[in-house]
Structure formats: structure tokens, C-alpha cells
Amino acid sequence: MASAAARTPRASKPARNGAVAQNPTPASNDSDIQLIVRELAAVADYIGHMKQEIAALKPNELSRERIPSANDELGCVVQATASATHTIMAAAEEILGAGDLSDKAYRELVETRVLAIFEACSFQDITGQRIGKVLEALGHIEKRLNRFAKAVNVRDSAEGPDPEEALRQARREVLLLNGPQNEDAAIKQDDIDALFD
């Protein structure tokens, strides 16, 4: 059985400055609890929304299908381009090296080798289709990432590139490994010629 002293509220203790400290009222505790509950509910809603947005990215599909497929397509483009280049170069070298043939034999050789060159040039149609598939995959990835970035209100970090990217960039600049430029960004031949005038 609880004693009477345990059932009666404690007297307020004097504060250090001499004032009497007040015990918090139940109404004040209730409003604090309600505020915390609302904040936790908002956090739970935000987490649920983020889970939905991450699911909408379909990261497993991207890593299982789209990215490997794009990689395979680009590999096939490289292989087809190399094969066509080899065929074209071999045919051209054969034509150039056939100086001691009769006119009729030389003409037949040129016709067959030029036909082989035309056939090899058909790789462009297939590689164009493959590159189209890669561009489509990259477009899907870009749309999904943009949607996710907008949903979570992501902003780029003010920090510079990660150390590996910084090393790659420095290597590219030192070794001039910029690769082919777009026509709009490239220096025009007339501008280069003007330097020598």
C-alpha cells in the first residue's frame, strides 16, 4: 500500500536564485509530446517518400539490364568498327599493291575490292542502331536520376571532384587525352591557318 506521503505532490524546491521552481504541468508535457509525435510522423513520411523515389529509380534494373546492355552494345560498336576498318584498309592496300597486273585483271581486282569496301561500310547502319540503344538507356538513367534529385531536393556538393576523378582529369590535361572534340568546340582550320599567316 502506498503511503500518504507518496501520493501527495512534492513541494516545489527553491531555485538557486531563491525563486520557487515550478513542476511542469501535464498540459505542457502533452503539447511537447504532440510536437515530437508530429515531427516523427513527418520524418517517417519523408523516409517513406524517399523509399518510393528510390524504388522508382529501379536501381536493380539499371545495374542488371540497362547498364550492362549499353556496355555490350558499345563493345559491339568497337568490334564492328575495328573489323570494318581492317577490311577497308586491307582492300585499299591490295589495290595499291597491284601495280603489275594487266588492265583487265587490275579492273576486276579494283571492282571486287571496292565492293568489299562498300560492304564493310555497311557497319555504320548497325553501329548507328546500337549507339541509338545506348543513348536510349542513358536517357532513361538521366530521367530517373533527375526525378530522384528533384524529389529529394539534392544539390551538388561544393567540394571538388573526388580524388580519383581529379587524378584522371590531371592525367588527361597533362597527356592531352581529350579525345575528339565536337564540331562546335573544336578549333576551326581557318583559325589555325591564320596563326601562320
Domain positions in the chain: 38-151
Residue 93 has what pLDDT? 94
| Amino acid found at 187 | I
55 vs 11: CA distance, rounded Å: 57
Ramachandran area for residue 122 (φ above 0: left; ψ -120 to 50: alpha; else beta)? alpha
Residue 92 has what pLDDT? 93
Residue 8 has what pLDDT? 44
Whether the pTM exceeds 0.85: the reply is no
82 vs 193: CA distance, rounded Å: 32
The predicted-structure confidence for 52-88, as pLDDT tens digits, reads as follows: 877 777 777 777 888 888 889 999 999 999 999 999 9
The predicted-structure confidence for 108-167, as pLDDT tens digits, reads as follows: 999 999 999 999 998 888 888 999 999 998 898 888 888 888 877 777 777 777 788 888
Residues of the chain above pLDDT 70, percent: 79
